[in-house]
Amino acid sequence: MAGLIFNACPNYRAVVVLALSIFMLLSGSPSPADAASVQYDVVSLGAKADGKTDSSKAFLSAWESACGSSSAATVYVPEGRFLVQSASFDGPCKNSAITMRIDGTLVAPTDYNSDNWIMLRHVTGSPCWEGPWTGKARASGLVSPPARAALAVLRYSFEISNSQNVLVSGLSSLDSQMFHIVINGCQDVKMQGVKVSASGTSPNTDGIHVSASTGVTILNSKIGTGDDCVSIGPGSNNLWIENVVCGPGHGISIGSLGKDQQEDGVQNVTVTTVTFTGTQNGVRIKSWAKPSNSFARNILFQHAIMNNVQNPIIIDQNYCPGSSCPNQGSGVRVSDVTYQDIHGTSATEVAVKFDCSSEYPCTGIRMEDVKLSYRNQVATASCSHAGGTASGTEEPTSCL
């Protein structure tokens, strides 16, 4: 189990007054781990629950004490609204059993104009530590800053970087400036019960973005946003994504890959028991059409339901969201990708599209029991430079 827990029940009742916000819902009752640990209450350290007084120092002081404790420790945020500037909770810590329990609401300044807002860095938990939790749902969370239009650089609401064995449970994010949740350079991070909500027209507001990480698990989550519900970037491997509901958004995407000539690839990814509703894409692999040594291999998409999805199954190796497109053969090697038990409705006639690289065609594509319709008729499939096999139900008829 993870050494750092953000834990919650998903019945929040907080009132959002800022344009962009992120909520972390946390357990309303102490777990056995809480009871056995030393607790640092941010109010006792000077935090004010008025939503106006900057409580950043109290939060950082509580974290420093918990991180510096030689025994299990809990950072506790009681009910109320706490104004917090950009905060980085950094390790390494002296113990591997830290719980952050938030029953209140963290409010960001309305004029926020800095880098990422809440960060968790260089924290290592104990894979043997168990932190069961119980409790009633309570209003709680993190509220992030507004003013998307003024952004000059990418800003994330919550970033976990260079950390190991972290569990995040019951986190909800509303209208982030850019990516909602980022997992970068991590090992063994588990996200469960995540909720993300943003306008379907808000660009670059990926729900969960994973990059350069291994052993990431995403479970039982509901994501609606203006970009990818889950995006998987270069250097990521051994990922498990299960029971995710996506929509609106751009689907669950591997990539984009191949933007750089020297780039790590993505491998060993399972996406299972997922539902897409009204999204631009369902399950997607995307890469830039230019030279690269990157790759996507050993990918399994299974047990997926498509509800009026524009591109239910797509490999796009000519990805270019702007106007200056490279228009070269993609160097990204796509191989050993399985689509199994995927059914539902397409919003376009072409429900399966494999637009692979002319330089390095897709290989080892497997279609097993795929049934997709368009306006109550069997949809069609389109293949370019794609090789593989099909078995079981073939609707549309395979073009491999």
Six-digit token string for 343: 């059914």
237 DSSP assignment: E
Surface-to-core class of residue 99, CB atoms within 10 Å of its CB (0-12 exposed, 13-18 middle, 19+ buried): buried
Kindly give, in sequence order, each residue whose CB lies less than 8 Å from that of residue 62, ignoring residues fewer than 6 positions away: 40, 41, 42, 45, 75, 76
Separation of alpha carbons 215 and 223, rounded Å: 21
Unique residue bearing structure tokens 């306008």:
199
Bridge partners of 118, per DSSP, are 87, 158
Kind and range of the H or E run holding 143:
strand 141-143
Q: Torsions phi, psi of 353, nearest 5? A: -135, 115
Q: Which of 230, 227, 213 is nearest to 266 (CA)?
A: 213
Unique residue bearing structure tokens 């059409």:
289
Unique residue bearing structure tokens 């939060």:
59
Unique residue bearing structure tokens 């113990």:
95
Q: Sheet with 50-54: list strands edge to edge.
A: 50-54, 81-83, 105-107, 141-143
Unique residue bearing structure tokens 């607790």:
39
Alpha helices by DSSP H, the chain: 32-36, 56-68
Question: Do the beta carbons of residue 190 and residue 129 sit within 8 Å?
Answer: no
Separation of alpha carbons 231 and 266, rounded Å: 11
Q: Which residues are catalytic?
A: 227, 250
Question: Do the beta carbons of residue 24 and residue 180 sit within 8 Å?
Answer: no
